[in-house]
Structure 1
Amino acid sequence: MQTASFVGFIRTLFYILAFYYIFKFLAKLFLPFLLKKVVQKAETKFQQQQQYRPDNSWNKTTTEQEVFYKPPTSQNRSSTKKVGDYVDYEEID
């Protein structure tokens, strides 16, 4: 069985920090290129989907159609429900 040493702990901590900063540096370099590629791929896929869509709504000629709208009737309905009786409470000393 091995025991942990202070030098081993410092070495491990150094590797973790070095990996973190190297990853951070490489992400700043390569992430914009990767994101640009992903956006371009999504854009071409979207354009292909729109191109092969049989009924493009922006290419259709619109025909005048009548729109029927019936506004809601305003009725003053009085509340006929009796929820309960009013009870006046008094404080008792």
Structure 2
Amino acid sequence: MQLLRTIAFIVIFYYLFRFLARIFGPVLFRYASKKAQEKHGRSQHSRNQGGNREMRKEGEVVIEDTPVNNRKERTPASGKKVGEYIDFEEID
């Protein structure tokens, strides 16, 4: 009897979840997509408002590189520097 009661609760909750998801799903999806769109718009706006960049002509190519001292060197998780990688082939 307990097994049938448990199965009945599972089935009832399943159909209740499906019903509620059908009602509230589109509303939640619209809300999430609106928030994502706003976030994307803010990031684009801040990127376009870059403070010290001068206006460039259309088609002009500029390569901006970070200084060497700011680059992170590849190190393992322990933080110790490792020697250079050597590729080798096995000889029979």
TM-score category (smaller protein)? 0.5 to 0.7
What TM-score results when the alignment is normalised by the length of structure 1?
0.53
Q: Which residue of 2 aligns with 1:31?
A: 25
Tell me the TM-score normalised to structure 2 length.
0.53
Instruction: State the alpha-carbon separation in 2 of the partners of residues 34 and 49 from structure 1.
Output: 23
Q: Which ranges of 4 or more aligned residues in structure 1 deviate by more than 4 Å?
A: none
> Over aligned residues, Cα RMSD in angstroms?
2.2
- Give the 3 Å change call, closer, same or farther, for CA 50–15 of structure 1 in structure 2: same
Larger Rg: 1
Return closer, same or farther for 1:37/1:60 CA change in 2, 3 Å cut-off.
farther
Say which of 21, 25, 32 aligns to 2:15: 21
**What is the aligned length?**
56
Structure 1 portions without partners, runs of 5+: 1-6, 66-93
How much does 1:64 deviate?
A: 6.5
Structure whose residues are more often helix by fraction: 2
